[in-house]
Amino acid sequence: MKIGIINVTGYTGVELARLLHQHPQVDLASVTGRSAAGKSLSEVFPHLAGINLTIKAELGDVDLAFAAMPHKESAREVIPLLEKGIRVVDISADFRLKDAPEYQKWYGFSHPAPQLLKEAAYGLPELHRAEITPAKLVANPGCYPTGAILALAPAVKAKLIEADVVIDSKSGVSGAGRSLSLPAHYSEANEDTAAYALEGHRHLPEITQELKLLNPKASLAVTFVPHLVPMTRGILTTCYAPLASAKKERELKELYRDFYKDAPFVRVADAPPHTKQVLGSNLCLVYPTVDRRTGRLVVISAIDNLVKGAAGQAIQNMNLMLGLPETTGLEALPVYP
């Protein structure tokens, strides 16, 4: 199968190229990038010297494409591909939300193809494997939602928690993308930690959408606060929610292990996970526990935001769409130290 990447010059695009190059069942045939069109991939990214491709302005003939464009711009690229019969994994937020008016509220634009929102499969394989496999369009989840949803899904599905949910996430600077921005400058981000988007982050409706699907009768009130921390990769998420009934920690971990028994990339950890323990891998480490003093569920998750939070998960989705084992090309262990 010939695979293409739209916008290979962003962090997710270049990570896709690195991972697809070592994939044994597909051929990375075409990559695009407006600012670098005409240059070799290795000229723009010397660490990819083993990939003999020239960055183009147009994608050309491929069987499946990854769209790694910013929101709003991505939909304009994806729609013509679908009309040509090319299957797409979209990395942006443009097809994640099922309710079209939410795009005006959270992203500031009217969706150009609202009819596609219902057709698009939400690309979290642990929850939507059956919808992803036959899909023509898969909406790859956001990095924050991936860590948060995987942390909370078993508890929400089992109706273990009450309405008030708090999600506290800390992300490395690469989550801000490769374009220049003042908060991501070394002098600004180094030796500094700060919360942002307290008025409501764009990933919040995505998180609430998926949690409510797990328990439609639940009235969940979700508070989500993201933080920028001085590291390159990784997201550590800590979730808090009151337990509906007393639960022993052993029972809780058994519930989580059973929920994820068929999920090759989610592991229930024996100790609180570190972001370094997933660096460069498609793993999500989840650690559920109970605060006995307050009767509150506490769940911690760790992912690499550029792999399980973006490019790796996109390839996991591609594998399912192509009828391949979902672990194909993604079995590399984390990098340490």
Active site residues: 143
CA dist., res. 315 & res. 36, Å (int) = 24
Strand pairing class (27-32; 55-56): parallel
Among candidate residues 60, 52, 63, 69, the one with its CA nearest the CA of residue 17: 52
227 pairs with which residues across the strands?
170, 195
SS3 of 213, please? helix
Radius of gyration, CA atoms only, the chain: 19
And the tokens for 251?
């029972």
27, amino acid identity: D
234, amino acid identity: G
CA dist., res. 157 & res. 212, Å (int) = 9
- Alpha-carbon distance values, 311 to 79, 91, 140, 188, 307 (Å): 21, 8, 9, 27, 5
Residues 6 or more apart whose Cβ sits within 8 Å of residue 335: 279, 280, 281
Number of Cβ within 10 Å of residue 271's Cβ equals 9
Residues 6 or more apart whose Cβ sits within 8 Å of residue 186: none
